[in-house]
């Protein structure tokens, strides 16, 4: 099974992944709010997060995660869309968005357009 691996150290924050994802799902429209990947930033570092499953339950985890010496609220890096972090929802309808790796077989456009090599498709 293929999955997208993220190397946070390589992300430049260009957001080409967001544009490619939205174009892949809605022909002719670049709208990062419709993307199944979002790039968050903290200071001078960027953190791509790929949309995972939706849950209507509020998360009770309040864990701090350390990535390359920087501490983050686990919520920032969580893939789930939930009432606390509703970023992965269709802007017009509110329907939850989830990464589908651009079809079957997996052909994620975010990986194709990631010039920095932060996103790679790997087989497990």
Q: Report the alpha-carbon distance of residue 58 to residue 40 in Å, rounded.
A: 21
Q: Report the alpha-carbon distance of residue 43 to residue 40 in Å, rounded.
A: 10
The CA R_g of the chain, rounded to the nearest whole Å, is: 14
Tell me, what's the pLDDT at 79?
Answer: 83
Percent of the chain with pLDDT over 70: 100
pLDDT tens string 50-60? 999 888 888 77
Tell me, what's the pLDDT at 48?
Answer: 94
Query: Does an H or E element contain 65, and which?
Result: strand 64-67
Q: Report the alpha-carbon distance of residue 36 to residue 50 in Å, rounded.
A: 6
pLDDT tens string 67-80? 778 787 788 778 88
Q: Could you tell me the pTM of the whole model?
A: 0.86
Count CB neighbours of 31 within 10 A.
14
Whether the pLDDT of residue 62 is over 80: the answer is no
Q: Give the residue, 58 or 20, on which the prediction is more confident.
A: 20
């Amino acid at each position: 099974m293929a999955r997208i691996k993220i190397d946070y150290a390589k992300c430049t924050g260009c957001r080409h992944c967001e544009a490619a994802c939205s174009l892949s799902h809605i022909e002719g429209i670049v709208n990062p709010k419709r993307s199944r990947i979002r790039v968050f930033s903290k200071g001078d570092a960027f953190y791509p997060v790929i949309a995972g499953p939706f849950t209507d339950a509020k998360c009770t985890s309040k864990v701090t995660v350390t990535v390359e010496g920087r501490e983050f609220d686990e919520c920032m890096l969580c893939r789930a869309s939930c009432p606390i972090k509703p970023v992965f929802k269709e802007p017009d309808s509110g329907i939850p968005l989830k990464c589908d790796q651009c079809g079957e077989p997996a052909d994620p456009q975010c990986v194709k357009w990631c010039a920095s090599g932060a996103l790679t498709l790997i087989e497990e």
